[in-house]
Amino acid sequence: MKENQLDMEDEEFESLALAEDNPTYQEGKDIHEFELPEGIRLDVGVTEVIGKTRSFVQSLIGDGFVHVNGLVKKSNYKMRSGDRVKVIIPPPKELQVEAENIPLDIVYEDDDVLVVNKPQGMVVHPAPGSWNGTLVNALLYHCRNLSGINGVIRPGIVHRIDKDTSGLLVVAKNDQAHQGLAAQIKEHSMARKYIAIVHGVVLESTGTVEAPIGRDTIDRKKMAVSFHNSKSAVTHYEVLERFREFTFLRARLETGRTHQIRVHMAYLKHPVLGDPLYGPRRNPFGIEGQMLHAEHLGFVHPRTGEWLEFTVEPPEIFIKIINQLKNN
């Protein structure tokens, strides 16, 4: 089973619940037995040994696939001298993701990679509540082959942009391409630039937000600047044009955390226009979806070593609002 170790945005996992007496389970089971240092948390120790993400290990523990001396324990169980751990990794749950004939705005394509201009309102990959109409559904119809590193639900997906953010994404058609692209994201060498319309007048012509991002402790649907249980996040920005109550700017990602630009701009008290999660619920333009567009993408081709760059115009609604602000 290939666990998602290369996704740079955030760690997600699917709960894997299979009965041990299931024939399919018996055929595909992967069993690890070992001892851990005394005093270490069960989930921490198992994560270090089997090389999976901690969220994945906690899911295994919660579903009863991790035993200590034959018994199921909680994730925070502290190991004792002589404890014997048994970890059973079941095969991936069979999931069917349908190929759908959905038009794609393909900017570039070869045998290894595909660059697509995702429209605002399209979810990148299937998830509860959005099993159809996603970019992955469209890709499966268009492409015969996609990388399998991120599993059945996210074939080819190396990085993501939010549902209501438009713009450029690179998709991997094979595992070699996926690993090469993911390494560039990890090394912060992939160029990703966004344009945005934000509330208020940003006074500094250029700036950098260096503030760690983690899950909001009150609202779990949100991310927040936090110095506990968070990851480093860096966003560079430059003002393109100022208006009476709004600012048009460009942001460059150095890291790629979930909702990073949206969180960082809200942290500066300049939330993205149309963002109901981090900004005002109502906006004077009555739009749905944030005015955030991934306009530029640059990366080294994972096979040829050639540097590729792409730039796309924002959607019509974005241009319409900019013109309206200029006229006002």
**Continuous H helices in the chain:** 23-28, 42-50, 54-62, 135-142, 175-186, 260-267, 316-327
**Token pair for 320:** 């319409």
Q: Is 175 a catalytic residue?
A: no
Orientation angle between helical segments 42-50 and 54-62, nearest 10 degrees: 120
- Three-class SS state of 41: strand
Say which of 43, 162, 164, 275 is annotated catalytic: 162
User: What Cα–Cα distance (Å) separates residue 116 from each residue in 43, 52, 119, 132, 275?
Assistant: 38, 30, 9, 18, 23
Closest CA to 161 of 307, 5, 296: 296
**Token pair for 237:** 């920005």
The residues assigned a catalytic role are 162
